[in-house]
Structure 1
Amino acid sequence: MTGIRVSDSPQQRLRVGFVLATNFTLSAFSLFVDHLRLAADKDDRSRQIHCSWQILSSAPHPIRSSCGISISRDAPLDDPRTFDYIVVVGGLLQSYEPIDQTTVKWLQRAAAAGVTLIGMCTGTFILCRAGLMDQRPVCVSWYHRQDFVDAFPNHDVVSDQMFLDDGDRITCSGGGAAADVALHVIERNLGRSAGLKASHILLMGRDLTSSAQFRLQPQPPTLDPLIRKADRRVQRAILIMEQNMSCPVPIERIAASLTISSRQLERLFQNALGRKPQDFYRSLRLQYARALLETGQVSVTNVAIEAGFSDCAHFSRHFKLAYGISPRIYHRSAIKNLNAHPAIAASHAGVRIFPEL
């Protein structure tokens, strides 16, 4: 159970229903619901006075999270209009059927009734498969960006901010961003003080003037601590680079997306990292290429393409300058090493590549 029930309170100004996918992410759900809990009552008493929440399911059995902990439902799928928001919490992409067709149809009814739907973590995938995000941009985690592009190649996707508010649809990158969305929703419906109270009690202090600001915060960079201290525009530029390895984005376009000039972006990179953005971008792609070569599963030619180089000769020249060895020799050495250590080879299968400085 998620708290003490106070049904049909005349003071409730925020009603939230949760749909949990099979193997849902427990941390995203708990962060969101704990902010609601603390905003709903005085002190830490957890009564559902100012807002309410329920876990909804088409079946009476508990829903299993990705970490193995199961949560019981509070109510069946009744009239979706009794909620202001319905949060779909996703989880493992490998789950065969994250939600059943009964739940899909219920979400479609909710959308038709004008209820705001929130895709949390891979819950965005669920909303897209249900046809509820057509012609709408979505926000997904940088970690699942390629999975999303593979599943929905023609969909507009962003991975350089924590969440995206598109009116009656909100999509969220997941993880800690669940707290940001919860605060955004609480601030909108209960006021800023209610959101700040929840944040302070959870020791997640926010000193931003409004939820609109932390919505636009970039997702944390996957690189070293130096970048985490860099100007936010440098962080966002790097995220764009990371998400466009095989088809590099011109520096001019990256700068334009940040509403600054190329010269400004170059100065920011020089100040933060001591390098030009184009040089940094190339080093990212070379690190990505090296990691692909180390798997032993991708040919040098395909690695060059995946890393965004126009031809093998161009790729080989830059790779050797960076690492003092040709990519073909590096690739052969990696295959030899993997064959000598089968356990290492198995661990490389399907591994995600994280570039490093």
Structure 2
Amino acid sequence: MHSVAILLLDRVIPFDMAAPQQTFDWTRLPDGRPAYRVRLCAETPEVAADGGLFLRVDRGLEALADADTIIVPGRADGASPLSPAVVTALRRAAGAGTRIASVCVGAFVLAEAGLLDGLRATTHWAAADRLARDFPRVEVRPDVLYVDNGQILTSAGAAAALDMCLHMVRRDLGSVVAANAARMSVMPLEREGGQAQFIVHEHPPVPRGSAFEPLFEWLEDNLAHEITLGAMAARAGMSERTFGRRFREQTGTTPVQWLLRARVRRAQYLLENSDHTVERVARQSGFGSPTAFRERFRKVAGTTPHAYRAAFHGRRPVAGTGS
């Protein structure tokens, strides 16, 4: 029987903990026996959880030493710094070859322990930029459900953790057992780690009071038209070189990248709220050809326009029905 230790840290997110616990608890061998023994462990007997809850556990950090797999759930904002004892226990387990996986922002715990240095990793898309900034030695992949480096795995969020755990079950026990576990969790087994997170890209940053504010408004009004770097610089009354430098200083990105994200956000809105064809959405968003639109939309949003619409398109009420 495989042993799984779920490490609870201060301000643990309960759903992040429950997702892997449920998956492994419900996994059965062909003869009906449990395939995994799941244990909750922590540095202290009682752990504060997000939402004002307190969880009591029976096992301490020693449980990490005899586990085949360690799961580190995410922690809410305001969590205490990692203690040296936790860092030491995780590093010792990694050195012994134990499989270690994180859920959502639990990736920050692994990164702080140095376990993600030089590796690819993911986390919830909303925290991906911060993970990349705080831990530059980690190759952050914000556009996937989970990343499997062999011994170290990371997942994007609680739902993606179910995909990651089913992936581990399939690695450990084969597709038949994993398929049964997926049915128990009411999950498809087919979602692969490389499938994109559905990322909602907010409007690119527009600093309040910025000298570029009139330019941003003009850009938003003219996204459907061709806009060159020269036209943007002329609109701002600067040379292209000066414009590019000052634009990056104020927004943290290049004019071309800002424009691309703005056009993708426009396309997301149209895909969600209209029945326009992909070709028409491409034109209205300023991408020109449908081929270029599909390529660039996937690069930024992490999925295809058709898949995005299938997931997020809602039927609008019919006028006059009171719906």
TM-score of Structure 1 vs Structure 2, range by shorter chain: 0.5 to 0.7
Q: Provide the C-alpha distance between the structure 2 equivalents of 1:85 and 1:182, rounded to a whole number of angstroms.
A: 11
Q: 1:143 to 1:78 in 2, by over 3 A?
A: same
Match of 2:304 in 1: none
Where 1:144 maps in the other structure, the secondary structure is helix
- Residues 121-167 of structure 1 show CA distances to partners (whole Å, capped at 9, x for unaligned) of 11111111111211112112211112212312453110111000001
- Among the aligned pairs, what percent are the same residue? 22
Match of 2:204 in 1: 288
Matched, 1:176 2:159: yes
Where 1:107 maps in the other structure, the secondary structure is helix
Superposition map of 1:86-101 within 5 A: 86-97=70-81, 99-101=82-84
Match of 1:221 in 2: 199
Q: Is the 1:55–1:72 Cα contact (8 Å) retained in structure 2?
A: no
Q: Is the 1:90–1:123 Cα contact (8 Å) retained in structure 2?
A: yes
User: Which one-letter code corresponds to 2:192 in the other structure?
Assistant: F
User: Which one-letter code corresponds to 1:60 in the other structure?
Assistant: P
Q: 1:142 to 1:192 in 2, by over 3 A?
A: same
- Residues 140-199 of structure 1 show CA distances to partners (whole Å, capped at 9, x for unaligned) of 221111221231245311011100000110011112001011101111112222222222
- Residues 291-322 of structure 1 show CA distances to partners (whole Å, capped at 9, x for unaligned) of x35xx4x6244x7xxxxxxxx86x56423435
User: Which one-letter code corresponds to 2:9 in the other structure?
Assistant: A
Match of 1:270 in 2: none
- Residues 45-75 of structure 1 show CA distances to partners (whole Å, capped at 9, x for unaligned) of 9x7x3211111112122x2221333322131
Match of 1:346 in 2: none
What RMSD, in angstroms, separates the aligned Cα atoms of the two structures? 3.2
Matched, 1:155 2:138: yes
Between the two proteins, the alignment pairs up a number of residues equal to 233
Q: 1:152 to 1:300 in 2, by over 3 A?
A: farther
Residue 23 (structure 2) aligned to one of 20, 31, 35: 35
Matched, 1:25 2:9: no
Q: Provide the C-alpha distance between the structure 2 equivalents of 1:155 and 1:300, rounded to a whole number of angstroms.
A: 35
Q: Provide the C-alpha distance between the structure 1 equivalents of 2:221 and 2:184, rounded to a whole number of angstroms.
A: 53
Q: Is the 1:28–1:174 Cα contact (8 Å) retained in structure 2?
A: yes
Q: Provide the C-alpha distance between the structure 1 equivalents of 2:129 and 2:108, rounded to a whole number of angstroms.
A: 12
Superposition map of 1:189-208 within 5 A: 189-206=172-189, 208=190
Q: Is the 1:121–1:175 Cα contact (8 Å) retained in structure 2?
A: yes
Q: 1:32 to 1:316 in 2, by over 3 A?
A: same
TM-score, normalising length: structure 1: 0.58
Q: Provide the C-alpha distance between the structure 2 equivalents of 1:69 and 1:146, rounded to a whole number of angstroms.
A: 29
User: Which one-letter code corresponds to 1:26 in the other structure?
Assistant: P
Match of 1:136 in 2: 119
Q: Is the 1:93–1:122 Cα contact (8 Å) retained in structure 2?
A: no
Match of 1:299 in 2: 210
Q: Is the 1:121–1:173 Cα contact (8 Å) retained in structure 2?
A: yes
Match of 2:62 in 1: 78
Q: Provide the C-alpha distance between the structure 1 equivalents of 2:51 and 2:94, rounded to a whole number of angstroms.
A: 30
Superposition map of 1:44-123 within 5 A: 49-61=34-46, 63-78=47-62, 80-97=64-81, 99-123=82-106
**How far did 1:41 drift?**
6.5
User: Which one-letter code corresponds to 1:319 in the other structure?
Assistant: E
Q: Provide the C-alpha distance between the structure 2 equivalents of 1:197 and 1:70, rounded to a whole number of angstroms.
A: 33
**How far did 1:110 drift?**
0.5
**How far did 1:79 drift?**
6.0
- Residues 326-357 of structure 1 show CA distances to partners (whole Å, capped at 9, x for unaligned) of x99xxxxxxxxxxxxxxxxxxxxxxxx99562
Q: Provide the C-alpha distance between the structure 2 equivalents of 1:96 and 1:78, rounded to a whole number of angstroms.
A: 21
TM-score, normalising length: structure 2: 0.63
Match of 2:220 in 1: 319
Gaps of 5+ in 1: 1-11, 223-241, 243-283, 304-311, 329-352
